[in-house]
């Protein structure tokens, strides 16, 4: 497993909000180690036994937290991210609609501080049997040895569910987020899976737009020894039209399903035409 393991001790930023409180309860039910919550002005209270602090600095004095998950509204997300990046090792930003210039500043600061950021606009991370920092429905995942990396939350769920039904468990599933600017990219996660003893094969779920999948293909070709299979969403999308995610726009001959499939095939990666084909490709690869 990667990113999230038995040593991950998390705090929830925005724990008292509607989303934060709902998903904190779900994460606790999945045995995720949540040691603190942060909501300015609510310090001294608790939520389901989790102590709430006014700031991350306060929380780090009183607890052993080393990671954070952010549920605050977009307009407050940059400040929340900066605070967590300053004090912690891993930051998962669930928040959507964060302005691109804010995301650029967040990632520049994270690079400066050496902090890993997942997101924004991500379903998060789940390591079955250990915990989740995210919003994914836990019943569709199963402990195992296939790593999953995706730009799409719903496709992550669909493909993980197909794998689980076929008796194939997952080591860790990571949603990198669908925004044009994200903290952790395919290559960062592929590198971690390549070095992870619990991962034997990887499913890469992509979508049209940008060149992230082509860059990933280059990395796979030169650096990966473990089998990788893929699915690219957006096969029927017309050129120039945005499809779902802000990053999913085809421009010219780049960013198409064809260009991504060609690059991945060239790297030895079989690309499914439908999500339902992933299971057979994984079975063939392992």
Which residue among 23, 87, 139, 245 is the active-site one?
A: 245
Q: What are phi and psi of 78, to 5 degrees?
A: -60, -45
Contacts 24+ apart (CB under 8 A), 190-194: 190/149, 190/216, 190/219, 190/220, 190/223, 190/224, 190/228, 191/219, 191/223, 192/2, 192/3, 193/2, 193/147, 193/149, 193/226, 194/223, 194/224, 194/225, 194/226
Alpha-carbon distance 240 to 16, whole Å? 40
Among positive and negative, which fits the CA dihedral 112, 113, 118, 119?
A: negative
Alpha-carbon distance 218 to 212, whole Å? 10
- For residues 13 and 72, the answer to whether their CB atoms sit within 8 Å is yes
Q: Exposed, middle or buried: residue 160 (CB in 10 Å: 0-12, 13-18, 19+)?
A: buried
For the beta sheet containing 143-150, the strands, ordered from the edge strand earlier in sequence to the opposite edge, are: 131-134, 124-127, 170-175, 143-150, 201-207, 228-233, 270-272
Residues 6+ apart with CB under 8 A from 154: none
Active site residue 245: yes
Phi-psi category of residue 274: left, alpha or beta, with phi > 0 → left and psi -120 to 50 → alpha = beta
Can you tell me which residue has the tokens 């600095």? Answer: 57
- Annotated catalytic sites, by residue? 245
């Amino acid at each position: 497993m990667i990113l999230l393991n038995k040593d991950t001790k998390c705090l929830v930023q925005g724990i008292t909000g509607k989303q934060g409180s709902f998903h904190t309860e779900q994460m606790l039910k999945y045995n995720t180690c949540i040691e603190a919550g942060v909501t300015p002005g609510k310090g001294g209270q608790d939520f389901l036994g989790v102590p709430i602090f006014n700031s991350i600095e306060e929380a780090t004095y009183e607890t052993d937290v080393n990671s954070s998950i952010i549920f605050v509204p977009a307009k407050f997300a940059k400040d929340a991210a900066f605070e967590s990046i300053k004090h912690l090792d891993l930051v998962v930003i669930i928040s959507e609609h964060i302005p691109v210039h804010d995301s650029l500043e967040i990632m520049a600061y994270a690079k400066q501080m050496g902090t890993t950021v997942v997101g924004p606009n991500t379903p998060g991370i789940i390591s079955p049997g250990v915990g989740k920092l995210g919003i994914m429905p836990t019943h569709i995942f199963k402990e195992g040895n296939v790593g999953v990396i995706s730009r799409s939350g719903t496709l992550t769920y669909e493909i993980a569910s197909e794998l689980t039904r076929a008796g194939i468990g997952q080591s860790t599933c990571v949603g990198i987020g669908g925004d044009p600017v994200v903290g952790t990219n395919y290559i960062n996660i592929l590198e971690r899976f390549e070095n992870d003893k619990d991962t034997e094969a990887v499913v890469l779920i992509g979508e049209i737009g940008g060149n992230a999948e082509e860059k990933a293909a280059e990395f796979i070709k030169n650096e990966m020894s473990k089998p990788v299979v893929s699915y690219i969403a957006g096969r029927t999308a017309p050129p120039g039209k945005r499809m779902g995610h802000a990053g999913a726009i085809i421009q010219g001959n780049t960013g198409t399903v064809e260009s991504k499939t060609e690059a991945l095939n060239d790297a030895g990666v079989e690309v499914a035409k439908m999500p339902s084909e992933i299971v057979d490709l994984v079975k063939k690869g392992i």
